[in-house]
Amino acid sequence: MVAVIRSDITPLLALWAAIIIVNVLTRRREKKPAAPARTGWLGYWLLAVLGGTYLAGFTALALDTRAYALVPVFGLLGLALVLPWPLSRHAFVRLGWARTACRLTRLAHWTWHAQRREGGVVAGCLALRAGGALRPVDAARLDWLETRLAIGPTSGVTPLALALIADLRGRRDEARRLLALCGWFDPRIVPPIARRMAREWLAADAAARGAWEEVAKHGGRFLTGAARRLLGAPAPSERRLRLLWLLSARRRHTRPLLERALAAAPAAADPAAAPAAADPLARAVALTVALRRAPDARLLLAAGDAWTAALSDASVEDGLRARAQALGAVDAARAPRGLREAAVAMLAAAAEDVDLRAADGEPAAVLASALQCAAEARLAALELLARAPADRAARDAPLAAVDELREWAALLAEYDRAARLGRHVEQLAFEQVHAAICNLAVSLFNGWGEKRLANAMFRWLQDRARALGLAHLDALYTGNVACGL
C-alpha cells in the first residue's frame, strides 16, 4: 500500500501546488479595485472536483488494501478540498478550533468569494463563541483574528467580522453599529452568507432587547411574523405562524417566542387613543406612561398635544398653585413652570426611542420645545464627531482601515440619533457631516487604497441626498459611486 501511494503521490502534490498557485494569484487580483467578486471560481471548482475524485480513488485503494487507518485521513482531506465551509462550520467551529476554522475557510471560495480572509475571521469568531456565553473567550486567539483583518483593504465582510469581534469583547453597541454598515457596501463584494449572518445577528439582538420593530425589519419570516403579532400589527394567523416556526431553524430555541406570540392579545388600533381621562393633566400623564412602555411616534405627538393642552388650562394651573401652597412651597407661583420643564425633559427623553421622520402632523408647543432641546444636544455631539474625519482628510493622516470603519460607524450612529427627531433636523445633520465624509472618502479612494470603503461612503451620501431632495448633491455622489471599486 505504501509503495503504491509513493508511486502515485506526485499527481496529488501537483494538484495541491496548483491550488496554492491559484490561491496566490487570486489574492493578488483581489488587491486590484476592479477585481470581480468571484475571481478564479472556475479554477477552484475544477481543482475541487478533480482533487475530490483523486482522494476518493486513494480512499478506495486504502479500503481495497485494508489500510483502514488511512481512510479517515483521505476522507478528511477530500472534505476539506470539496466542502471546506461545511466542514469548517459544522466541525471545527463546534469544536471551538478558531485557528483551524479560520485557515480552512480560506479554501471556501464558492461561499465567501473573494472575501475569504474576512470569512475566515468570521469562522474563527463563531468558533470562539461555540461554548456559549458562559465560556470565557480566549483573548489571545481573538487578538490573532483581529490582526488578520489588518492584512489587506476592507471589503463587504469586514464590518461583519469586526462586529463579531466587538460582540466577543462585550461591546454590543459597537457591533450593532458596524453591522448597520453592511448594507452600504456594493452587493458584489458582500456574499449572501454575510448578509444573512448580519440580519440574523441584528434580529437576535433586537429580540433580546425587546425591540420588536427591529426584529420585524431584520428577521426571517417566522421572526417577522412573531414580532408583528407582539406589536399588534397585521400578522400571520396562528396556523400560519406555527407553520413558519416548523420551517424555521433552531425550533427548540424559538419555541418560547412562538408561545408568547400566540398568546399575545391584539393591541389597540390607535395607541394614542388608548389612555383616556377626563382631567387634561391625568390624560397627559397617562399618555407619557404609555409612551415609556411602548415608544411610538403617534403616541409621542399625542402626549405633546396633551401636555400642551394641560399646561394651557387655567384650572390645571390653579390646582398646581393650590397644591404647592398646601405643601408649603416657597414659590408656589412657579409650580406650573416647573411642571412644564419636567414635561419637556420627559418628552425629550422619550424621543430617544422614537423615529419621527415619517410621522404625520406638527408637534405641539411643549413637544416642540422638547425636540428643540434634544436636537441641539444631538447636533452638537454630531458636530464634534464630524471634525475628526475632516481633520484627517485635511492632514492626509489616515487611521488604520478597520479603525476608519469603526469611526464611520460611530458617526453614522450619531447621525441617525439626530435624524430620528424629524426631517428638518436630519437636513441640519446632513449639512454638518456630508462635506467631512465626502472629503474623507475622496482621500480614501485616491490616496489611501481603500476604494471599497470609499464607495460605501459615497453610496450612503447618495442615498441620504436623494432622500432629502438635494438634487445637486445627489448628482455629485452618483458620479462618485460610478467611479467603481
- Is the domain of 332 the same as that of 294? yes
Most confident of 129-138, 169-178, 293-302, 322-331: 169-178
Last residue of a domain, one of 236, 263, 290: 263
- Is the domain of 5 the same as that of 70? yes
- DSSP, residue by residue, 32-88: STT--TTTTHHHHHHHHHHHHHHHHHHHHHHHHTT-GGGHHHHHHHHHHHH-HHHHI
Whether the per-residue pLDDT at 34 is higher than 50: the answer is no
Whether the per-residue pLDDT at 107 is higher than 50: the answer is yes
- Is the domain of 249 the same as that of 306? no
Domain count across the chain: 4
| Residue 8 domain flag | yes
- Is the domain of 259 the same as that of 277? no
- pLDDT at 61 (0 to 100): 56
CA distance 256 to 454: 43
The DSSP code for 136 is P
The DSSP code for 90 is I
Q: 403-420 burial by CB neighbour count: b if 16+ within 10 A, else e?
A: ebbbbbbbbbbbbbbbbb
Mean pLDDT value of segment 57-80 = 58
Q: Which domain holds residue 381?
A: 376-481
The model's confidence at residue 412, banded by pLDDT at 50, 70 and 90, is: very high
Mean pLDDT value of segment 469-475 = 92
The model's confidence at residue 47, banded by pLDDT at 50, 70 and 90, is: low
Last residue of a domain, one of 247, 263, 279: 263
| Residue 203 domain flag | no
- Is the domain of 259 the same as that of 298? no
| Residue 102 domain flag | no
The DSSP code for 129 is T
Last residue of a domain, one of 22, 56, 82: 82
Residue entry with cell 482522494 = 55
| Residue 443 domain flag | yes
Higher per-residue pLDDT: 103 or 27: 103
Task: Compute how many other C-beta atoms are within 10 angstroms of the C-beta atom of residue 287.
Answer: 26
- Phi/psi of residue 34, each to 5°? -90, 10
Instruction: Give the three-class secondary structure for 138.
Output: coil
- Is the domain of 307 the same as that of 252? no
The conformational region for residue 449 under phi > 0 = left, psi -120 to 50 = alpha, else beta, is: left
Whether the per-residue pLDDT at 32 is higher than 70: the answer is no
- Is the domain of 313 the same as that of 228? no
The model's confidence at residue 164, banded by pLDDT at 50, 70 and 90, is: very high
| Residue 178 domain flag | no
- Is the domain of 458 the same as that of 386? yes
- pLDDT at 1 (0 to 100): 46
| Residue 365 domain flag | no
The set of cell numbers assigned to 250 is 433552531
Whether the per-residue pLDDT at 165 is higher than 90: the answer is yes
| Residue 359 domain flag | no
Residue entry with cell 485521513 = 73
Helix, strand, coil share (%) of the chain residues, nearest 5: 75, 0, 25
Residue 150, classified by CB atoms within 10 Å of its CB into exposed (0-12), middle (13-18) or buried (19+), is exposed
CA distance 402 to 394: 20
- Is the domain of 259 the same as that of 279? no
Mean pLDDT value of segment 12-30 = 56
- Is the domain of 239 the same as that of 278? no
Whether the per-residue pLDDT at 132 is higher than 60: the answer is yes
For the whole model, what pTM was predicted?
0.78
Question: Nearest Cα to 436, choosing from 369, 482, 387?
Answer: 387
The model's confidence at residue 212, banded by pLDDT at 50, 70 and 90, is: confident
Give 354-402 pLDDT, tens digit per residue. 888 777 777 888 888 888 888 999 999 999 999 988 888 888 888 888 8
Question: Nearest Cα to 128, choosing from 113, 117, 143?
Answer: 143
Average pLDDT over all residues of the chain: 80
- Residue 42 Cα distances to 38, 45, 106, 157, 209, angstroms: 9, 5, 16, 22, 44
- Residue 351 Cα distances to 86, 119, 367, 417, angstroms: 45, 38, 9, 10
Inter-residue contact 374 to 348 (CB < 8 Å): yes
- Is the domain of 380 the same as that of 462? yes
- Is the domain of 231 the same as that of 285? no
Q: How many residues does the chain have?
A: 485
Give 179-210 pLDDT, tens digit per residue. 999 989 999 889 999 999 999 899 988 888 88
